[in-house]
Structure 1
């Protein structure tokens, strides 16, 4: 597929507040539809993630879980994407830089965890289906901005203008219309499947099933969020489906505070392939082991996150529902969020 034609790679944005994002009428209608998907479906996923712990909702049924697992194959990168990354056909360092930049902006605006996950999900799915021109780093930066912008529109109640979104030492700054055109290319390439099934769709179910039907404590939810976000940094977890990642994360988190029979815990996870969950669990254990501070290194040095996504894992994360924000770290201090501009201004 030929790359899109862009008028300019690096222009300052000249948008104003007379429309939502300075779109043409046709684009406005398209993005309004995206926002309707957010209000209709996004809140349900938020509530499902927190389950009984926050909203008092009953645990989703086995049938609901089965349907989600059937849908998840539509929200993962195309087959062969991981092999292309590992073989060097696609530049791993370019993807890593994109994920790092998304993490910086995500932390800057204190977006919810799902926004970070969706941003990288859109990025990987797009790259698996569309070949960007080689040697044009600005195209990857533009794609990163578009993916983060779309994820924020799907999950955040307040979304910065596209110029304000381009922080975190951006090498290029794009004008609004250029980003909007890239957003439409992403939307069409992903077949408008933006309310993706993610590990957050399953984590409360698996935590409760493995924990003998007891609602998971706040600490387990906090830890699960951190581990899920850490899985998007590298590429090794692209091998696994969201349900498999969620099951492996749940086993890993609960295994940190209680003695678990791993095989019995895996058998509690319905509708997933047990062997794949075990392989994912082993990958998570390796990731956790690698993240532990080296013996002899001072606490102040070892506690410094090694990447922007590490900042999300170490800082006080919050999971946002329609009306409630729950801090996930009891002893963390909270810094004021930068002033954001409402989307419907």
Structure 2
């Protein structure tokens, strides 16, 4: 019988309680409403995306790290005025915030993360010299502003809940849905959509590419069961455009790999792993490891999680006072103390399990833009000049530097 272990169905009472927690709390893990309506704030975010993409470009084995880093960045900058951040220019301030969000994300995800090696790589690859103490001070500030809520409820948390709606249409490989969601994180146009809508829209975008003849039927059948249909349709339309622009491949369990151009890539049975495009080889190699991952025992998984928590607690050297505060906070976070009420501790534990999914499902190229306008060159501050049109009594307002005429 055909089975899909990549999308385990939430069916137990505990599963349903966890899903309810996700829906109840998802807006707490978003940027402040309307913050990115301002062009200057959009430009700040684009610079952060560029910095994180450049830093992680040489290692794309786990795209969840930059994805989570941008979640932290959006939440922080929309709640804290960056003028109080260390740095001489806005570019330096944004760079420090982005890199620090990345280190926090790496600590949450990678058990073997080496802070010293990370700083060394920054200097070698990007000629950035940021000392340990500066990042630790910034880390403490971010953790405090975000109230130590670092186990974010993201779109990925809703995939198991929504997948059964699409299973009747043959379904998708989880890696493809993950990629759509991660690539969307690199664009500011998605920041105001709640995580559950982003998750659902990613499935709809994948359906549009993999099953174009059935898409209308899929969309109508599923959207009729949802609230806020307008928001979902709008988000799904943007997701479909994203997949086409970035040529994101959609892998389905039974019918091969589909490109946004409408082509289906299928390999003959006798072809070896060396055949095909790099993307296809990568998917083949990752899929060949799936059985090993899912066959691992629960005891081994428990041991890995325990080792991860111990690593976080022990990864500290000689620190100044602020650094010790950060470490104490990490210990509280690992122990789930002072992070959530007893009622929601089980749900937070489920979030952690969700995020420690096999990294093969996050192993794809990050396609975030790295060529963005400078913060110093594109200032939004402008002078408004009002000119009166003779004989009309009307004024023309011209904003110098923004080319706004009204």
Q: TM-score range by the shorter chain?
A: 0.5 to 0.7
Match of 1:275 among 216, 227, 230: 230
Equivalent position SS for 1:129: coil
* Unmatched segments (≥5 aa) in structure 2: 248-258, 262-278, 295-300, 305-356, 366-406
Q: Tell me which residue corresponds to 1:254.
A: 207
The separation in 2 between residues aligned to 1:174 and 1:326, in whole angstroms, is 29
How do residues 49-68 of structure 1 correspond to structure 2 at under 5 angstroms? Answer: 53-54=5-6, 58=10, 61-68=15-22
Give the conservation status (yes or no) of the 8 Å contact 1:113–1:225: no
Give the conservation status (yes or no) of the 8 Å contact 1:228–1:249: yes
The separation in 2 between residues aligned to 1:78 and 1:314, in whole angstroms, is 39
Q: Give the CA deviation at 1:316.
A: 4.6
Tell me, yes or no, if structure 1 residue 159 matches structure 2 residue 116: no
How do residues 222-241 of structure 1 correspond to structure 2 at under 5 angstroms? Answer: 222-241=175-194
Q: Tell me which residue corresponds to 2:360.
A: 327
The separation in 1 between residues aligned to 2:131 and 2:110, in whole angstroms, is 22
Cα deviations across residues 173-205 of structure 1 (Å, max 9, x unaligned)?
A: 211011000000000111111100011101232
Q: Tell me which residue corresponds to 1:125.
A: 75
Q: Tell me which residue corresponds to 2:241.
A: 286
How many residues end up aligned between the 2 structures? Answer: 256
Give the conservation status (yes or no) of the 8 Å contact 1:103–1:116: yes
Match of 1:150 among 100, 104, 108: 104
Change in CA separation of 1:328 and 1:197 when aligned onto 2, cut-off 3 Å: closer
Change in CA separation of 1:283 and 1:56 when aligned onto 2, cut-off 3 Å: closer
The separation in 2 between residues aligned to 1:72 and 1:314, in whole angstroms, is 34
Change in CA separation of 1:252 and 1:288 when aligned onto 2, cut-off 3 Å: same
Match of 1:90 among 12, 16, 41: 41
The separation in 1 between residues aligned to 2:223 and 2:207, in whole angstroms, is 12
Q: Tell me which residue corresponds to 1:48.
A: none
Q: Tell me which residue corresponds to 1:189.
A: 145
Change in CA separation of 1:248 and 1:143 when aligned onto 2, cut-off 3 Å: same
Q: Tell me which residue corresponds to 1:264.
A: 221
Match of 1:106 among 42, 53, 56: 56
The separation in 1 between residues aligned to 2:362 and 2:109, in whole angstroms, is 22
Q: TM-score, normalised by structure 1?
A: 0.64
Change in CA separation of 1:294 and 1:223 when aligned onto 2, cut-off 3 Å: closer
Give the conservation status (yes or no) of the 8 Å contact 2:107–2:113: yes
The separation in 2 between residues aligned to 1:263 and 1:200, in whole angstroms, is 23
Q: Give the CA deviation at 1:275.
A: 1.9
Change in CA separation of 1:56 and 1:95 when aligned onto 2, cut-off 3 Å: closer
Q: Give the CA deviation at 1:276.
A: 1.0
Q: Tell me which residue corresponds to 1:173.
A: 129
Give the conservation status (yes or no) of the 8 Å contact 1:111–1:156: no
Q: Tell me which residue corresponds to 2:198.
A: 245
Equivalent position SS for 1:117: helix
Please say which structure displays the higher CA radius of gyration: 2
The separation in 2 between residues aligned to 1:59 and 1:66, in whole angstroms, is 13
Cα deviations across residues 92-126 of structure 1 (Å, max 9, x unaligned)?
A: 1x422321221233343345232221100111111
